[in-house]
Amino acid sequence: MEINVITYNIHHGKGIDKQVDLYRIAEVIDKSDADLVGLNEVDKHFSKRSLYEDQISWLANQLNMEHAFSPSISIKSKNSTKVRQYGNALLSRYPIVTKKSHSFNYIPGLVEGRSLLDVAIQINKQLFQVNVTHLSLNPFLHKMQTDFIVSKHNKNPHPIIIMGDWNMRPGSRGWRKLTRSFQDAWYTEGIGAGHTYPSHRPRTRLDYIFVSQNVKVVEAKVLTNMSKASDHLPLTARLLY
């Protein structure tokens, strides 16, 4: 079976023109023909900057896809019953069987909260484990987060897809640890540098799709056709299982 995957840091829908426009984000995803979409920096009733929109529900409705969300930051408001949240999300054309959020908020209040979205999806009769994350800029916390992800899947028999904004460079210590267990889709089949940030003049590879060894990477591409929709470019991979 063939699966098209995309990972995209949407910057709460704010483009390089400073406009927040979820329609542009939806268009990028729609044109990518993706089956699974990992999203970072997603607002859910978070603040005025995104008009308190539940962005992942809006996108799921617009694209007719199932969805899951993992809060990295949660704030209770005195003036509303809704919790203000910001984090990672998944859109899926396949049924979501289970979903769980793992908090990486090791030092509450001192650094930005991080999390791992952990979802099981069913494609035909096969379960896939899909993770979406956005790791810390702090080297010590980044190592703890990477160690957790690798150890979590140490004995997982299912095919695994892990994607997101990793805030690391290829060849770094964290990248080397991950690639001992998983394939870096771009390293396997991408052509060129694979830079995804900043979108208007990309010079850094921050966004990655990792897959287990029992998944074949057929193609990996960085999408550049709507670079102003976010400060990151989306990374896609075509997979076979």
Q: What is the pLDDT of residues 12-38, one digit of tens each?
A: 999 999 999 999 999 999 999 999 999
* Whole-prediction pTM: 0.96
Confidence class for position 79, pLDDT limits 50, 70, 90: confident
- pLDDT tens digits for 155-207? 889 999 999 999 999 999 999 999 999 999 999 999 999 999 999 999 999 99
Tell me the pLDDT tens digit for each residue of 97-130: 999 999 998 887 778 899 999 999 999 999 999 9
Between 80 and 182, the higher pLDDT residue: 182
**How far is the C-alpha of 190 from the C-alpha of 7, rounded, in Å?**
14
Q: For the chain, give the mean pLDDT.
A: 96
